[in-house]
Each structure stands twice: as C-alpha cells, then as structure tokens.
C-alpha cells in the first residue's frame, strides 16, 4: 500500500492573534508523529495509527524573519508570499489588523484561491480575505464586533452574523469557510468532517 501524499496546509502569519490559529493543533493531533507518540505511551491507541494523516505545515509571511503573534510570541516562517505554493489543500488565515495587511499577501490570496481546496478564516481573517476580493459576491462572517465595520469596508461581501459560513470556492469541490471569533474557528475545525474535498488520499 502506497504512502498517502501529505496534506499541504498553509498558515498566513501577519501580526495574527494566536488563539485564532488554535485549530491547527486539532489537525496536528491527527499526524503520524502525534498518534505514534500517544500509541507508544498507551498501546490501546495503536489502532489509530492506521488513521493517521501525513501533513506538511507551511508558515507564510512577508519575510523569513520571525513573525510576531500574540502574546509577544514569534513564529519562524517557512515561506514568503512570493515563494509559497498556491496549490494547497488547506489555507488558514487568523485575525490580523484588517487595515494594515500587506499587498503581497492579497496577491497571494487571489492566486492561491484559484488552486487551494479549502480556505479557512477565523475572526478578522475573514476581512483579510475580503480585502483580496476573493469573497466578493459571497456570504461570509467575521468577529461579531467587527461585522458592521466589515460591511462598510467590504460592501461587495454579504456579511452574516453566524458562527461560521461555508461557500463554494473558485473550482469544483473547493470551499471557503469563514468563522467568527477564535472559538468559532476552533468549532469549525471540529466540524471538519464536512470538508469532504480534502482527504488523505487526495
């Protein structure tokens, strides 16, 4: 049996709030490294080894310098917006200051949206994606306290007060998930079984 191709998961880091990206840990718990570690500690978990999903995490920012995130934590990017692949399985955007995102990130989002299977945003990450134009004509959500501001800044998006919203992406089978605050983003990860266009077998 051939080894499944790793899921490629891109994470945009640009002055992002750490809690918006907490859902990453849920995905990380499904990797062979984590499941094997748990099974070694408790053999009753050994059957889970067959269910492990290989993943490659790509951390993307303006440069390869450590990227700031709350609370005064820094993440070492693996790629810049110029060098990151566009054909990802999952792309995650946490919440930055929506007024100060970099133009290079918007170019990346426009290009990646044409090839990425699932785009997930949490909190003001939805406004980040909206600034790129990818959400024009679609329903979306963001942090509840920012909904009115989002409507004024990005009137071509239909902003709704929901925990999360799922829309079709740019090609058949692609999806765009926008979530409210950080907790809503985590719940959207826990509902990931609905993301049927991404699986370990491609």
Would you say residue 176 lies in a domain? yes
CATH code (residue 120): 3.40.50.880
- What does the mean pLDDT of the chain come to? 88
Model confidence at 149: pLDDT above 70: yes
Would you say residue 38 lies in a domain? no
Would you say residue 166 lies in a domain? yes
Range of the domain at 147: 7-22+54-194
Would you say residue 43 lies in a domain? no
Could you read off the pLDDT of 159-191 as tens digits, one per residue? 999 988 999 999 999 999 999 876 544 444 444
CB of 176 closer than 8 Å to CB of 166: yes
Give the Cα separation of 152 and 159 in Å (integer): 10
Would you say residue 1 lies in a domain? no
User: Whole-model pTM?
Assistant: 0.87
Give the Cα separation of 50 and 11 in Å (integer): 26
Cβ neighbors of 100 (< 8 A, separation 6 or more) are 15
Would you say residue 121 lies in a domain? yes
Number of domains in the chain: 1
CB atoms within 10 A of CB 6: 15
Would you say residue 37 lies in a domain? no
């Amino acid at each position: 049996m051939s080894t499944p191709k790793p899921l490629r998961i891109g994470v945009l880091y640009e002055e992002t709030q750490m809690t918006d990206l907490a859902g990453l840990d849920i995905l990380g718990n499904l990797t062979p490294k984590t499941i094997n570690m748990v099974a070694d500690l408790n053999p009753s978990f050994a059957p889970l080894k067959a269910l492990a999903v290989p993943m490659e995490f790509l951390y993307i920012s303006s440069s390869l310098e450590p990227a700031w995130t709350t609370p005064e934590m820094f993440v070492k990017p693996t790629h810049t917006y110029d060098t990151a692949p566009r054909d990802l399985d999952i792309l995650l955007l946490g919440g930055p200051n929506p007024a100060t995102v970099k133009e290079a990130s918007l170019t990346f989002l426009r290009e990646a949206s044409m090839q990425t299977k699932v785009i997930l945003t949490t909190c003001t990450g939805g406004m980040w994606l909206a600034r790129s134009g990818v959400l024009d004509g679609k329903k979306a959500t963001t942090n509840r306290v920012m909904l009115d501001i989002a409507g004024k800044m990005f009137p071509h998006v239909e902003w709704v007060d929901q925990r999360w919203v799922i829309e079709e992406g740019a090609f058949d089978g692609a999806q765009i998930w926008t979530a409210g605050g950080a907790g809503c983003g985590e719940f959207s990860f826990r509902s990931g079984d609905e993301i049927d266009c991404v699986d370990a077998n491609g």
